């Protein structure tokens, strides 16, 4: 999931009658970053007065109101409304989102401009069109935890839509929101963000919106803040140092990393931000090291299959230019000098290789239907042209769709006919005597693409939204490529740390969890983390990227411990190797906060959830300092 967040918190009740709960500010909670708090909140605090009413102008008593910091999606102050619907709460002088929730109503919000002192919120009565988030908060001992604050953040631009409510005496919470927007950018996360407790994201949960979904039976395991804010003792850090291999000797580190992924069928190469130069450079070195050893056959990217064909053409055939191919990618984090150098490096390796030994390049993401169908037909080589009629018939409907949701608008018989047509085309191509092309083209590529389209349609039909199956489809696309493309492969995949994780992370089962389940130890996930520095991040899709400065992590964060034992440049730690040590294992199994940003700007006030490191990745490349990626001078049109 891509982020943009912050945090601090409150509860005030002023006005005509006394407050029902005393004020609490989350900037006093230890998890908040002091330096970030000063930048976000400023030194001045204003008072905002307002009223919460229904759409029929009826006053709403007891509504939970929050002043949310937009870059962090986190409440700075909260209050409850009086019997007349009025509230008073504090807020910084900067712009905030004023959100409100109440039983029987969909949550609502307004944006309070910098310096304004009035904010009225109108709530709509719940209906059968309301999206409901219902679940229970438990302690680490799985006992109900009452009266803690739960947050539902609705991701999208402009940022800041976060809604708070309080669990009841049995730990049960319920927050209701409108279903007005089911676009992919309106994904959600649910967690406990309370002055005394913090949780990981809800399980089981995958937060992409769909037209008819409720999120019920959610489970939030909350940890007391003191239990996750303990600094690691020196004895444990000393033991960690044994497994933290310095990056100062680059060649020795690369040998160690290459040895750790030897024999893996798929290697996940992750990054904590989509804008750090060092992450790209270290992963490129790993790819080159493994490729030169003759094991790597395929490079995958968190991008659409169709859009990466130009890169494959360049890498294997020398067609076009690397700059044009990289510049044509839709996702801006890949349009960098570092990624360009990776692509050029793969071409340099391929120049002296036979076609069967060349490194291929493919995208693992879901392409728009029209683009996927067009790319398939355009990719056919002359000797495969006799297959074209069968392919055209199989994707005839798909070629007409601008979005995969068009499949849902068809009748049952039409859906069955399309799926049957895809399956028939696959059987015909597989039974063809034409050997097809040796590389990712022709018959093998057609089977791969048609099978992927069929899986996308099945995911849409089951879940109502292709993006609900996004991580699973990215995993299945790799497994299809692994099994159906005509030769034994080792694939290295370039993606976000959250996608390559081997178990639950960010409120979802990521791509890596499916790969790990299918491949076991033949899937290896290598994450990249950093201590401090800056990276490129996006605040607004319509504007360019900004340089975001991240401070050093607080003492109880995972990155802080790694920073204490790493070399000058950083270190590589194989978590599988460290799991043989009792103290290191205990350190990895204790829930601790971890910063994983993504492509978008995230305030340091974000309630970074505690995670168990031993569950997530096979190893970590930890760099001490992050610096911004270098964007290509000319970019493709969005």
Residue range 300-325, pLDDT digits in tens: 999 998 889 999 999 999 999 999 99
* pLDDT value for 310: 93
**Run of H or E residues at 419:** helix 412-430
Beta-carbon count within 10 A of 547 CB: 12
Report CA 469 to chain centroid distance, whole Å. 13
DSSP code of residue 110: E
Residues 545, 396: Cα–Cα separation, whole Å: 39
pLDDT at 613 over 80: yes
Is the pLDDT score of 564 beyond 50?
A: yes
Domain boundaries, the chain: 26-228, 237-299+490-638, 366-483
The pLDDT confidence band at residue 206, using thresholds 50, 70 and 90, is: low
The answer to which of 179-193, 236-250, 397-411, 441-455 has the lowest mean pLDDT is 179-193
CA gap 599, 3 in Å, rounded: 7
* Fold designation for 237-299+490-638: EreA/ChaN-like  fold (3.40.1660)
Helix and strand tally (H, E) in the chain?
19, 26
Q: What is the pTM of this model?
A: 0.86
pLDDT of residue 230: 86
pLDDT digits (tens, 9 = 90+) for 90-147: 999 999 999 999 999 999 999 999 999 999 999 999 998 888 999 999 999 999 999 9
Tokens standing for 52? 């919460």
Pairing of strands 64-69, 74-80: antiparallel
Residue from 341, 486, 467, 331 nearest 405 by CA: 467
DSSP symbols for 319-368: -S-HHHHHHT-SSGGGSBHHHHHHHHHHHHHHTTS-GGGSPEEEEEEPPP
Q: Using CB atoms within 10 A of its CB, is residue 349 exposed (0-12), middle (13-18) or buried (19+)?
A: middle
Distance CA 205, CA 208 (A): 9
Strand (E) or helix (H) holding 619:
strand 619-626
Mean pLDDT score, 434-438: 44
pLDDT tier, 25 (very low <50, low <70, confident <90, very high otherwise): very low
Nearest to 214 by CA among 152, 153, 129: 129
CATH architecture for segment(s) 26-228: Sandwich (2.60)
Please say whether the dihedral angle defined by the alpha carbons of residues 228, 231, 234 and 237, taken in this order, is positive or negative: positive
Could you check whether the bond before residue 158 is cis, i.e. omega within 30 degrees of 0? yes
How many residues are recorded in the chain?
638
Bond into 571 cis (ω within 30): no
Contact predicate 373/399, CB 8 Å: yes
pLDDT band at 154 (very low <50, low <70, confident <90, very high): confident
Beta strands (DSSP E) in 344-442 are: 360-365
Mean pLDDT taken over the chain: 85
Residue 106 to residue 176: CA distance in whole angstroms: 5
In whole angstroms, what is the distance from residue 69 CA to residue 97 CA?
A: 7
Measured distance CA(372)–CA(249) in Å, rounded: 44
Output the CA–CA distances (angstroms, integers) from residue 485 to 438, 441, 470, 479, 512, in the order listed. 9, 9, 22, 10, 21
Instruction: In whole angstroms, give the CA distance from residue 532 to residue 414.
Output: 54
Sequence-distant (≥ 6) Cβ neighbours of residue 38 within 8 angstroms: none
User: At 409, is the secondary structure helix, strand, or coil?
Assistant: helix
For the four alpha carbons of 423, 424, 427 and 433, in that order, the dihedral sign comes to negative
Residue with token string 């438990």? 138
**Neighbouring C-beta atoms of residue 56, cutoff 10 Å:** 8
């Amino acid at each position: 999931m891509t982020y943009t967040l912050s945090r601090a918190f409150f509860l005030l009740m002023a006005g005509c009658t006394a407050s029902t709960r005393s004020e609490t500010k989350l900037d006093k909670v230890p998890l908040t970053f002091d330096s970030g708090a000063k930048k976000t909140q400023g030194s001045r605090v204003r008072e905002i007065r307002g009223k919460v009413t229904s759409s029929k102008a009826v006053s709403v008593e007891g509504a939970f109101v929050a002043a949310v910091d937009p870059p962090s999606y986190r409440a700075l102050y909260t209050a409850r409304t009086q019997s007349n619907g009025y509230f008073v709460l504090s807020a910084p002088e900067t712009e905030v989102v004023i959100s409100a929730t109440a039983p029987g109503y969909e949550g609502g919000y307004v944006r309070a401009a910098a310096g304004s002192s009035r904010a009225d919120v109108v709530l709509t009565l719940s209906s059968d069109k309301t999206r409901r988030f219902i679940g229970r908060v438990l302690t680490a001992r799985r006992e109900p935890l009452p009266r803690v604050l739960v947050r539902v953040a609705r991701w999208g631009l402009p940022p800041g839509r976060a809604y708070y409510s309080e669990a009841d005496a049995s730990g049960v919470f319920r927050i209701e929101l409108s279903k007005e927007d089911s676009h992919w950018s309106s994904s959600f996360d649910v967690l406990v963000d309370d002055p005394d407790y913090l949780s990981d994201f809800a399980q089981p949960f995958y937060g992409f919106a769909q037209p008819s979904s409720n999120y019920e039976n959610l489970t939030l395991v909350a940890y007391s803040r003191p239990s996750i804010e303990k600094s690691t003792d020196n004895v444990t850090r000393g033991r960690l140092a044994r497994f933290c291999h310095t990056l100062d000797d680059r060649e020795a580190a690369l040998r160690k990393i290459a040895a750790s992924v030897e024999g893996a069928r798929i290697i996940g190469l992750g990054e904590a931000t989509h804008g750090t130069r060092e992450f790209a450079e270290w992963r490129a070195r790993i790819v080159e090291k493994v490729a030169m050893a003759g094991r790597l056959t395929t490079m995958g990217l968190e991008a659409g299959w169709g859009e990466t064909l130009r890169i494959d053409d360049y890498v294997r055939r020398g067609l076009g230019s690397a700059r044009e191919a990289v510049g044509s990618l839709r996702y801006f984090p890949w349009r960098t000098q570092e990624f360009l150098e990776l692509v050029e490096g793969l071409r340099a390796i391929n120049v002296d290789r036979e076609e069967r030994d060349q490194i291929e390049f493919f995208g693992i993401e879901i392409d728009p239907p029209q683009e996927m169908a067009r790319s398939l037909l355009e990719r056919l080589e002359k000797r495969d042209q006799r297959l074209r009629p069968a392919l055209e018939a199989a994707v005839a409907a798909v070629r007409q769709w601008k979005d995969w949701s068009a499949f849902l608008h068809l009748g049952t018989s039409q859906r069955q006919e399309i799926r049957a047509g895809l399956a028939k085309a696959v059987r015909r191509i597989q039974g063809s005597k034409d050997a097809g092309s040796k590389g990712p083209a022709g018959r093998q590529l057609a089977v791969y693409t048609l099978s992927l389209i069929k899986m996308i349609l099945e995911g849409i039909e089951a879940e109502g939204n292709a993006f609900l199956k996004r991580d699973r489809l990215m995993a299945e696309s790799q497994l299809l490529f692994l099994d159906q493309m005509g030769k034994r492969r080792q694939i290295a995949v370039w993606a976000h740390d959250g996608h390559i994780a081997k178990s639950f992370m960010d409120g979802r089962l990521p791509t890596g969890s499916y790969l790990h389940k299918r491949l076991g130890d033949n899937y290896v996930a290598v994450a990249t983390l950093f201590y401090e520095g800056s990276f490129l991040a996006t605040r607004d899709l319509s504007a360019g990227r900004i340089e975001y400065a991240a401070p050093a992590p607080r003492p109880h964060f995972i990155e802080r411990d790694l920073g204490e034992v790493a070399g000058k440049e950083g270190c590589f730690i194989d978590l599988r190797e460290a799991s043989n040590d009792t103290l290191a294992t205990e350190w990895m199994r204790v829930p601790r906060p971890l910063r994983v940003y993504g492509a978008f700007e995230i305030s340091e006030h974000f309630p970074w959830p505690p995670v168990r490191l031993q569950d997530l990745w096979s190893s970590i490349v930890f760099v001490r300092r992050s610096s911004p990626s270098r964007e290509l001078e000319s970019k493709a049109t969005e």
